[in-house]
Structure 1
Amino acid sequence: MGLFDIFRRHRKEKQVTSPTSSTNTESQSSNVPKSNVSQQPTGASSQSASTQPSSTVAASTASQPTVPQSTGIKLTTKSASGEQSHVSQPTALASGNAASAQPTTASSQPAQKQPTTPAAQASDRTEQKYDRGLAKSRTGFGARLNHFLANFRHVDEDFFDDLEDMLIESDVGYDMAMKLSDELREEVKLQNAKTKQQVSNVIIEKMVDLYEAAGKGESPDLNMAKEGPTVIMFVGVNGAGKTTTIGKMAALFKKQGKRVLLAAADTFRAGATEQLDVWAKRDGVDIVTGPENGDPAAVVFDAVQKAKKENYDILFVDTAGRLQNKVNLMKELAKMKRVLTREIPEAPHEVLLVLDATTGQNALNQAKLFKQSTDVTGIVLTKLDGTARGGIVLAIRNELHLPVKYVGLGEQVDDLQKFDASDFVYGLFKGLVDVDE
């Protein structure tokens, strides 16, 4: 799906939901001032007219001098199309004739707000999370793009040199910046972009096209076991948010009705086991721990045995992240993987690399290092809401060809969201793209 298709889809979704609520508002506002008989909305007055004695209704009608009884009450309503219609209700209303009140009630029926489905509500919440979580990245990229285009006169070599600098500063990566610059040389000419907005659209559209091309064949879905427990191993440097990510993901799957087991295999970092244990208690899931400075592979062995015997659905394995002792760390990870594979041949089903988005290009370097040493299958990008470096997602896909599977868009448990490329692109570039129908 191209950039403009994404933006048009979001616009359509907004139009599907917004007219209903706006029509409802218009209907309510038009009913209040003109259809009051006894300071009630039209519908209420209609009902009271059909149930109250005629003398009561007549008395309340007589108390309003602006409405002559001889000509009746003239109601103005708005249809869904915005056209006004007039319904006259003469003496029949005063006599309590329910049939004359019926047109008013019927005309207000289309204005009732239709209930949204749970799926639509969930989609709206997800879009709002992406919108909020990417606000800093969107603002930062927008400021750089606007500054870059401030001195725009025409497309020449200086234009592309400045563009490359701007993209690198936006953390889209050196390779992505060079590739984008090269392809834009022809694209700007082909699309005959002359104004600042047109040039901006072309730049962002090409970025999205390159992003999609680099991710062909990738899936953001987790690889789940066909039978038995699904084993997911988490790797990454200390401080990237591995333990917190595991806790949030455990809560997510527990909410889905899965039986979740945690393995505290980061036995060397002070407080790591205690931190994961707090998450286990908070989520209401089980955990397997070992002695401090013990063998991580032993913890993994105990955990996978428990997961198999007690029919757990998912086993999350926390690991160490001491890059200053890289050789030993990689040996530990390899040993844990051998234990898992021996007990469950397809395990681990996923090796998720947790990266801190606030570190920008350092996160990209960490990803390259772990990819060389372990069989990383996907990325979890944390703390996106706290940084203006959301463009790192583009660099990860372009340079590493690893799918981003989850993103952290806030501090709450449910702010860890499954990665959605469409919502990400819309959240990152919203307000910077001008889409014509």
Structure 2
Amino acid sequence: MQKKHLVLAAAVLLCAAVVFSAGCVDNGTSGDRVEILYSAPGTMAQLLDSEAVDAVITWQPFVAGIEESGVGKVVSYSEDLPPAGKWEGHTCCVFGANSNALANPEVAADVTALMILGNEYITENPDKSAALIADWLFANGELTYGDVKVDSLDVMKASIPTILFSGEVTDAWITSNEDFVKSQRDLGLVTGKLANTNSEETEALLFDFSAYDAAQDILASGKFLDPKTAVQEISIGYLPSDHDGPLFVLLKDWKFFKDNYNTYLKPVSEKVGKIDKAELYVNGKKVCDVKLIEGSAGPQLMTLLQQNQIQYAVAGTPPFVSAIDKASSAVDIKILAPIMMNGSGLLVADDAPADDWDSFVAWIKERSAEGKPVVIADPQLGSIQDVQLKAALDSAGIGYSTKSA
């Protein structure tokens, strides 16, 4: 595909210039090296197209957007990055709650069961789910990359199949979370409650599977739980990403869940785009009002959980780990279940001489020999993508330095 050029905003160019001029922090001693540039995912397409960077690692739907716009191509999806087999089914986004939510165990179990059913819906109806998620996130509009417009439905159809939508708690998933905590310790980012825990202690701090276990019983029996204590309202926080798709399809196709399970989230008003008010029905009866709160980032949702402004949240594993590690609030936060796994990718410019990890490594070595190290945009120090990229580079014996403003 011929590369399509973007018209870059002056602000993006200025941002790139500031970051690139900030200097390096050296890591590793290999003669083969790359430079890692910490960058906001929303700027990565422009950075890649302008040749300010040579590669990017990011999450969906940014991966699909870069591909569909013709700016870049995938070298490796996150689950395929080396070391071989390490990242299969890796943790990414989870469904969590605070202690106030868990004080009403029936509602917590019912909502958790619905989230699991939302995952199953996407797996069984990927194209319809792509349309519903494009509706929620983009109101079915086009996505603009400079002067290139991309159909949001095309982006969702490309993105959804690369995400493992699963609400199943497995030993491998638990281990993936524990491995992530260890990586945060190595980076000096986990310094509180999780700083010196063993596996059993880490699990006790991170997870509460009581709602998940009850949800499994609900799904096995087909009978949802009527709350023993009246609840007037719950609030669910989420982020504007297709990773949160199970929540979106529950609301966008609520009649499906009503017809099949008689327990559902019914929007107060049906409309194109995002929904902010709904009602929870359990066994055909209204239980409570539901507010849907869009967050700007995972840490913001953790703050809202601790302040009890929301009781449930869909967010990445890193903010949950950080919030639990640093918690000083009387309101506890727990991860209840996965919401999805995998869902990230490493991309290069569409005309770059690399099509897979091995050819990417060969390109890095060639550029290093020329004294022109490959520059890779990376979302954030300590992000899942950052941890995976550095592990892959380490496995190939490639050193790296980082740039920050």
Same fold? TM cut 0.5: no
Give the number of the structure whose alpha-carbon radius of gyration is greater.
Answer: 1
Q: Judging by fraction of residues, say which structure has more helix.
A: 1
TM-score (norm 2): 0.27
Higher relative contact order (CA 8 A, sep 6+): 2
TM-score (norm 1): 0.26
